[in-house]
Amino acid sequence: MKINWNYIKGFLLIGAVFFLFAFAEKRSNSRKISEVSLQFTNSENLYVTEEAVNKLLIQNHVEVATVVKDTLDLNRVESILDAHDMIEKAEVFMSVDGKMGASITQRKPIGRVLAARPYYIDRKGEKMPLSTFYSARVPVVSGIREEHLSEVFPLLDHIRNDPFMAVHVTGINRLANGMYELEVRKQDFAVHFGKIEDIERKTTNFKAFYQKAMKDKKLNAYKKVNLQFKDQVVSTKK
């Protein structure tokens, strides 16, 4: 029987390729992680720094220089980062050259609540602690308790997404009767918003009033602007 050496050589070559691949894979997985690379979405690291993230990982016994690739639990690292008060979402990944990467989206405050211990309201309507690294320029909210967060959130969210309101509204005050007033930048008149309903209509009416009064140079003539009425803005002069 004639032996076909070409087939044997082919099988040996295939076996050698698989062996080398498996060896390289094992060696790669046994390599220690050389460094961690952090990426902040929108290039913002206002409320949590790279140093703070690295310290958090060390405190949770994720020391990059001593961890082997195949022993690192990426889901656990994500959970650690997601639990940070200033992080909204973290996505952790591993590169082929032994570097751990993390894409971090920070929480974004849209209002600052005055309280015994002040705090932010974030863009999801949840309570967020103040940061030691950065102070956000957002409307100051007074007169509310934690149970009012869901009530005031739609107004804060609308202000954040409306360029005119975001520039001009500096404060929101909840009155004892459950009604709300707005404070306007560089103006001493109060804007009576009423209940947080019909937000689009009320802000449209307010913008029309403001622009007309500014054109007529009469913004300083008013002490109160009432937005509660459906088809008109009722203003009271000084």
The reported pTM is: 0.77
Least confident of 54-63, 76-85, 97-106: 54-63
pLDDT at 46 exceeding the cut of 50: yes
Per CATH, is 32-106 categorized as 1.20.1260.10?
no
Q: Are 193 and 179 in contact (CB under 8 A)?
A: yes
Per CATH, is 109-237 categorized as 3.40.50.11690?
yes
Reduce the DSSP state of residue 35 to 3 states and report it. strand
205 or 1: which leads in pLDDT: 205
Angle at 226 between CA 160 and CA 209, to 5 degrees: 70
Please return the burial class of 182, using the count of CB atoms within 10 Å of its CB with bins 0-12, 13-18 and 19+: buried
Least confident of 61-70, 98-107, 171-180, 221-230: 61-70
pLDDT for 64 equals: 53
User: 213: pLDDT confidence band, cut at 50, 70 and 90?
Assistant: very high
pLDDT at 98 exceeding the cut of 60: yes
- What are the boundaries of each domain within the chain? 32-106, 109-237
Sign of CA dihedral 83, 84, 86, 92: negative
pLDDT at 29 exceeding the cut of 60: no
Distances 222 to 139, 236, 237 between C-alpha atoms, Å: 22, 6, 4
Across 70-175, where does the E strand assignment appear? 87-94, 99-106, 109-113, 119-122, 127-128, 140-142, 169-174
Mean pLDDT computed over 166-193:
95
13 or 234: which leads in pLDDT: 234
What proportion of the chain, given as a percentage, has pLDDT over 90? Answer: 48
Mean pLDDT of all residues belonging to the chain:
81
Distances 157 to 19, 66, 110, 138, 139 between C-alpha atoms, Å: 58, 44, 7, 11, 11
